[in-house]
Amino acid sequence: MNGRALALVALALALAGCARVPARSAGTDAPTATAMDGSRDIVLAVDNPLEPPAIHAGSNLLGYTITGHYGAGRRASATLAALREQYGWHEVAGWPIRTLQLYCVVLRPPRGTTREAMLAALARDGRVQLAEPLHEFATYGEDDARPRHYNDPYAELQRGFVETDAALAHNTSQGGGTAVAVVDTGADPAHPDLRGRIRSTRDLVDGDANTFAGDRHGTEVAGIIAATGNNHLGIVGMAPDTVLDVYKACWYAAAGAPGARCNSFTLAKALAAIVETDARVVNLSLGGPADPLLARLLGQLLQQGRVVVTALPPGGRMGGFPDGVPGVLVVRVTSGAPAPPGVLSAPGHDILSTEPGGGYDFSSGSSMAAAHVSGIVALLLAIDPGLDAEAIHGLLLASSRPAAEGLQVDAARAVAGLRRLARTEVAGDRR
């Protein structure tokens, strides 16, 4: 445990007082995730090392650089061609993961071969780095100054915003200079309360960004985190000056469906893309079974200093993805029942947020609770970008306070605790 984490423990006591490139181009978002079969398809990965450029006769290394394009290299292409010839699978999609130097494919076993038999054979094949079922995932719907004043008409109806004293925290920080990656369904970039807050969007499901305008879950999560304040409209985000990168990795199986679906393919592409960005916070209001490939990617993001916030599964059982990955911040809906060890509690019942088409409505679930925590994390990082996930987790636990239904994170107390810690460190340096 580092010095800052030890200081936060003290503060807690005080406050308690992938290879043929498919015809559609594997390096793009073209393959349609909705056409994949989570009951049959397999994710397979092989080595795909970065390759230096060819050296031409009469030339030297000066002036030559490795190409910026990273697709299926010669080794990966040869390996996958041989594997495909041997096992006779059908390739659904393929994509490179530069940061892991892997090339992945989603494959479908040939007729007459079960997925279990194919996985067993691939597990024994030394050319294969990883082979796993194509997993499916789901979103989880269901005190030193006066608070900052907002002219947004629905601000007082925001249970989470009010109960966590976010307006008071905003006297110190509104999240400016931080970026939050939201991996979810799309989020409506034309919503009046989200204009200017979403700096980038990527569709990893079917490549049709037009579908963002109708994506409910991601729009709700985005509004809780970053809805614009003092614009005489709607609501205020927990971190209204932060910016969002929205990665559509989940989709609705049918119009009006209560929940959205994701899979290993779309989530891996989203996480690999985030590795190349400056987003410090990653919001994953979703979950499903343990997934080795996704765990490796998430582990890399954590090693880079990202703070990953996820939602506790509705049944409360942990150990899947992403809640089972060490180092992530797991958030449940505030409840009178004791929280599992280390799990944070935040408002998640009847939460007012943005809806597609410029509207607002109430929603519930640990997805909403996780979004509140992502916003608070952005507030803290705007004050001290050097904070790591361990320090933030300790601070949020230490600054949680009793609410009507039990202990709950508190934005104002977390910000005040961080400022107090900073003053203590400065005083120590002076001595």
Q: Where are the alpha helices (DSSP H) in 88-231?
A: 115-123, 159-163, 166-169, 216-226
Q: What token pair was written down for 4? A: 């800052």
Q: How far apart are CA 360 and CA 348, in angstroms?
A: 16
Nearest residue to 353 (alpha-carbon basis) of 368, 335, 375, 337: 368
By C-alpha distance, which of 273, 393, 335 is closest to 12? 393
DSSP secondary structure string, 319-374?
Answer: SSBTTTSTT-EEEEE--SSPPPTT-EEE--SSEEEEETTTEEEEE-SHHHHHHHHH
Q: Identity (one letter) of the amino acid at 224?
A: I
Q: For 188, what's the count of Cα atoms within 13 Å in the CB-facing half-sphere?
A: 21
Tokens of 197: 């807050």
3-state SS assignment for residue 232: coil
Radius of gyration of the chain (CA): 23
Neighbours of 192 (CB within 10 A): 14
Select which of 170, 191, 217, 372 is catalytic.
217
Task: Give the pair of three-digit tokens for residue 283.
Answer: 């919001």
What string of DSSP letters covers 289-315? S--HHHHHHHHHHHHTT-EEEEEPPTT
Catalytic, out of 366, 367, 374, 400: 367
Based on the residue annotation, tell me whether 135 is a catalytic residue of this protein: no
* 367 included as an active-site residue: yes
Q: Identify the CA nearest to 367 among candidates 410, 315, 391, 331.
A: 331
Q: Measured between alpha carbons, how far is 394 from 402 in angstroms, rounded to an integer? A: 17
Q: CB of 219 within 8 A of CB of 187?
A: yes
CB neighbourhood size of 85 (10 A): 9
Rounded distance between C-alpha atoms, residue 78 and residue 44, angstroms: 15
Question: Three-class SS of residue 103?
Answer: strand
Single-letter code of the amino acid located at 16 = A
Annotation says 208 is catalytic:
no
Q: For 226, phi and psi rounded to 5 degrees?
A: -140, 20
Active-site annotation, residues? 184, 217, 367
